[in-house]
Amino acid sequence: MKSQLTSFRPVLAALTAVVLSCVFAGETTGEDTIGKLVNSAGLEWIIGSWEAEDDEGRKVALTYRWDLDKHIISLHYKDSNSEGRGMIAYIDSQEKVVYSYADNRGGVGKGNWDEADGKAILRYEHTEVDGDTQRLGFVHSRVDSNTMRVAIHSLSAAGELSSDSEMSINFKRKP
Domain residue ranges in the chain? 4-173
Does residue 136 contact residue 8 with C-beta atoms inside 8 Å? yes
How many alpha carbons fall within 13 Å on the CB side of residue 171?
Answer: 27
Give the architecture-level CATH label for domain 4-173: Beta Barrel (2.40)
Confidence of residue 64 (pLDDT cuts 50, 70, 90): confident
Residue 21 Cα distances to 53, 61, 129, 135, angstroms: 25, 22, 28, 18
Of the two residues 111 and 25, the one the predictor is more confident about is: 111
Contact criterion met (CB below 8 Å) for 34 and 88: yes
Lowest-pLDDT choice from 11-25, 34-48, 55-69, 157-171: 11-25
pTM value? 0.76
Stronger pLDDT, 57 or 122, i.e. the higher one: 57
